[in-house]
Chain A
Amino acid sequence: MTGAAETSEIAARVAEQVHLDVPWDLVGERTRRYEIHLQGTSVELERGPIDVEGYGLRLFRPRNGGVGIGFQASTDLSPEGFRAVLADAESATRHAEFPAKSIELPSGKPAPGGSEFLDRKLWEDPAEALRGYVHALVGGFRGKSGAAPTFGSVKAVLREQSMANSTGLRVAFNSTSVELELGVKAFGGPEGRPPGEFWVTRSERRLEPSRVPAEVEDWCRYAADVRRAVPPPSGELPVVLPPDVLSGILPNVLGFRFTGWARLRKLAPEGGTPLAAERVTIRDEGAYPWAPGSAPYDDEGSSAGTRLLIGQGKVGGLLYDSLYASAFSTTSTGNALRGRFGPMSALRFASRPNPSSTTLVLDPGDAGGLPELAEAAGDGVLVTQLGWAQPDPVSASFGGEIRIGYRIRSGKIAEPVRGGTVGGVVFAPPGTRSLLANVEALGSRVELSDALAAPPVLVRPLTVAGASS
């Protein structure tokens, strides 16, 4: 067991009711959610605890030379509820098909040490910890005459996750996660310009009120710069992308195309294929400290690991869960992830696992920070925030509107830009232009941003669409 407190171990309790002659696995989850919503600097709404308990049962029956997989999830923990879940899952196995002769489920290897998945203070008194963070957040704007929050929310989830399966696996761990959303508005002044906004959204594992004052300074500066920004020029330009922008691009594509799922559909790149500049090395690290995707185990109970995806520009390995590993007679890399897009995305137990990335780590280079990368760029654009890069994982194309960025002129970061788009493809067949193939320089310092730990990178070129064609 990992974590600060005793877990609810729902999976182990439900497992006592499972008497099946085929492989099966269970994930159990208890979440307690607390939220504070702000209107300006006032509390608009306090929510919580929002208690949800549930589990998902998956089972594998031989069918047509492969397996039929049944899955059902429920918040009804009663024996009657379990019988209904089992009936649903059994029903699904009779119609489902998957090309694996047999399924090898994890048997419970020890997880890596450390407990950098859980904010102890938040766990012990979530309502007070959240209020303390909000107090720091609001306090950060005190005395600022030209900037203020318009709205915001801080949401904390305390999760007790447990897993059990037919091989005897019984594991459980606790974790915390935090989501911050804040609209920071800059206004006033003699120039009569319309107000500007910088929109903060991020996911983390812990509350860090000590970081707030410096962050507020940055957010206010970006919001003020929005007011005087103009669209960039159009053209094929060198572009500097910091980790906050890359995290909206790389995981969506690599976490889909570099998997057993993609390999089965012939969408994954072949091992050894040169897809990126030689200076690019990317790993998947399942236990990267404090990353929102980190955990001691994946969502099937395999212990978290590290996997090389791109080594010095060439394709290394792919990511597997137990199911897709079984289809290729290999072993799970600890990359089974649950979670679904849409209204129920907060409930991991409510969806079956699929292979995906946890935290991608792009190795740093030696090009220094943003000023040095700008100097190397010469004449280009630094993109600080994109509207929504939303890459298409199939084609690997990405692009979006520049919410705030800066012109780079003569190697210096110059006036702010906003509007217009930047886009391209993340990777492409060898010899073709792409974001990864055209990485010209990597910054020296890695920063964690959501599901990516990376340095800022200089890409030469990307297509920028701006005010003049």
Chain B
Amino acid sequence: MTSVADHEGDLAQALDRLARGTKFAELFAESGAGQEVRLDSKSTTVTVEPRLRGFVFRAWTGSHWTEAAASEFAPRSIREAAERIEREASRTHGSAAPPGESATTRGSWTAKGKRSLRELGPEGTVALGKELLGYALGSPEIKEAQVALAWEETDRLYLNSAGARCLQQLERTRAVVVPMAIENGRAVADYWSQGGIGGLERAPDLGEATVRRTAASTRALLAAKAPPAGVTDVLLDPGVSGTFAHESFGHGTEADQFVRDRSYLKPILGQVVAPEFLTVVDDGTVPGGWGSGFCDDEGNPSHRTLLIDRGRFVGALHDRETAAILGAKPTGNTRRSNFMSRAFVRMTNTYVVPGDRTVDELIGDVKDGVLLERWMSGIEDPLGGQMQIKVRKGHRIEHGKVTDLVGPMALSGKVLDFLRAIRGVAQEPATEMEPGYCGKGHSDYLPVGSGGVHLLSRAIVGPA
């Protein structure tokens, strides 16, 4: 399949033409390839990633942005998309300059895996998958399991009329294991997942011990008790703590919500919102992070942005427009899900920085509470400041001891109350970015990483 760079000449020519007829124009183009091998006890599926490619032009009409896109790089398609933009621009009569500064970054970057699944090929990947599946299905009471091993490689090209040119080639690899236990018509599942930009080295724990451990934890879920319902102490495991960072101070600090007057955080920028041992960061430069990249989709370099610095809310995530309106600088957080989707302010990798307590100390601080483990999802409420986090399982904590295993739970609460109630953040080894997908609302999903360390606070929990 041809790369986007093969069509750069035609695309750049059309962009030049657009730039002459508008105040600013830019192009985003992408092409991708990849493969997923998925196995269970009954079938093996090899999916070659669809050969998809496309481009989108965006231009400033003098009053608003307009876009046109197509999935075909033929000169005719490129010309037609540019003409649509020109027609829209001529329909509107604004004369304002485009908001914010136009990026001028130029560069080419490549991130390839050291142990690439691509080099392993479908035969080798299926063999690896069967070995892992065998460990899961060989475990007592595991009646079914799924193993997925996937890689994808995307070329992303950004050009604009101010001279920016960013070409990124990113390889992502992900491994997932989902054992299922079935007993008397009841089914339960646990999961394990690792991945990042690179090859299998981004799933360092993939192997027999991990699969057997996940199978054992799945089996145990058959005997899990009902979780408590109500307000209680909550100890978040590192993955759940990463989800907290993402949902609380991730979405809430996407500055387009500030501009929309839709963020409860906007009036409290600069204020102390949490104990001084809490620091939360969004960082698109994390090596191998699932949400990392070299530059964003407005051509700004990736960046590490402090959101909460030792308890003080200090920063937000910006694109060119929000930065201009709010007197800030772009933070490298403008992302398109793909050429069909619009650019938004988005997170990259969001995480809680390690603190100074041991996990045992945090557990010892809990008289009656619950440990939340294995995140499933989260959702934010940028205006109301509520958050919901769902987990696959947990344990009761009673009088400083971890006791009964409990089933799926949802955590609910006001973020600012949750922050004020934080009693400790664990000092643990380097934060690992867990791979996930994030939507803006319920669409525009793209890869993001989140991570953290154990964190103790108080919230409402109930079964989910």
Contact = CB atoms under 8 A, between A and B. Distances in A.
A47 B144 contact: no
Contacts of A402: 412
B20 interface: no
Interface in B170-201: 180, 182, 184-189
B13 interface: no
The 9 A-B residue pairs with the shortest CB-CB distance in the complex, in nearest-first order: A465-B462, A469-B230, A399-B464, A421-B462, A465-B229, A73-B50, A401-B388, A429-B185, A74-B51
B108 interface: no
Interface string A56-92: 1000000000000111111111000100110011011
B72 A399 contact: no
A402 B386 CA distance: 10
B42 interface: yes
Nearest to A195: B383
Interface stretch (B161-169, B258-266, B306-314): B258-266
Interface stretch (B3-11, B21-29, B52-60): B52-60
A201 interface: yes
B29 to A, nearest CB: 13
A43 B388 contact: no
Contacts, number: 297
B84 A466 contact: no
A201 B184 contact: no
B342 A69 contact: no
Contacts of A70: 46
A395 B187 contact: yes
A97 B44 contact: yes
Contacts of B342: 35, 37, 45, 47
Nearest to A419: B412
B51 A73 contact: yes
Contacts of B12: none
Contacts of B377: 388, 390
Contacts of B117: none
A418 B189 CA distance: 30
B69 A50 contact: yes
B388 A343 contact: no
B340 A46 contact: no
B5 to A, nearest CB: 16
B338 interface: yes
A39 B48 CA distance: 39
Interface in B421-464: 437, 441-443, 445-446, 460-464
Interface of A: 33, 35, 37, 39-40, 43-54, 56, 69-77, 81, 84-85, 88-89, 91-92, 94-99, 150-151, 155, 179, 181, 183, 185, 194-197, 199, 201, 226, 231, 234-235, 264-267, 269, 273, 341-347, 350-352, 387-388, 390, 392, 394-403, 418-424, 428-430, 463-469
**Interface bracket on B:** 35 or more
A266 B182 CA distance: 8
B449 to A, nearest CB: 15
B464 A423 contact: yes
Contacts of A273: 185
A47 B85 CA distance: 9
B438 to A, nearest CB: 11
B42 A265 contact: yes
Interface of B: 1, 37, 40-48, 50-54, 56, 64-72, 77, 81, 84, 88, 122-123, 126, 143-144, 180, 182, 184-189, 226, 228-232, 256, 259-262, 264, 337-338, 340-342, 376-377, 379, 381, 383-384, 386-388, 390, 392, 407-410, 412-414, 437, 441-443, 445-446, 460-464
A147 to B, nearest CB: 13
B318 to A, nearest CB: 16
B47 A394 contact: no
Which interface residue of A71, A341, A390 has the most chain B CB atoms within 10 A? A390
Contact of B462 (A91, A185, A422): A422
A265 B41 contact: yes
Nearest to A342: B445
30 contacts: A46-B67, A50-B56, A51-B70, A71-B48, A72-B50, A74-B50, A75-B71, A76-B1, A76-B53, A85-B51, A95-B123, A98-B43, A98-B44, A231-B412, A264-B42, A341-B445, A344-B338, A352-B45, A394-B180, A395-B188, A399-B464, A401-B379, A401-B386, A419-B414, A420-B412, A423-B462, A429-B185, A465-B462, A465-B463, A466-B230
A421 to B, nearest CB: 4
B388 A388 contact: yes
Given A46-B64, A185-B262, A395-B407, 17 more contacts: A40-B260, A46-B65, A51-B69, A52-B340, A54-B71, A73-B52, A76-B1, A88-B51, A92-B48, A95-B44, A197-B262, A199-B441, A395-B408, A401-B388, A403-B386, A420-B412, A465-B463
Contacts of A183: 260, 262, 383
A153 to B, nearest CB: 8
A428 B186 contact: yes
Which interface residue of B50, B259, B381, B409 has the most chain A CB atoms within 10 A? B50
A265 B144 contact: yes
Contact of A467 (B126, B231, B379): B231
A351 B45 CA distance: 12
Given A185-B262, A352-B47, A394 B384 contact: no
Which interface residue of A150, A398, A429 has the most chain B CB atoms within 10 A? A150
Given A85-B51, A96-B44, A343-B445, A400 B410 contact: yes
B462 A84 contact: no
A154 B111 CA distance: 36
Contacts of A394: 180, 187-189
Contacts of B446: 343
Given A265-B144, A465-B460, A392 B260 contact: no
Contact of A463 (B229, B264, B376): B229
Contacts of A420: 412, 460, 462
Contacts of A85: 51
Contact of B45 (A39, A69, A395): A69
Contacts of A424: 463
B122 A50 contact: no
B231 A341 contact: no
A97 B39 CA distance: 9
B262 A151 contact: yes
B185 A350 contact: no
B340 A50 contact: yes
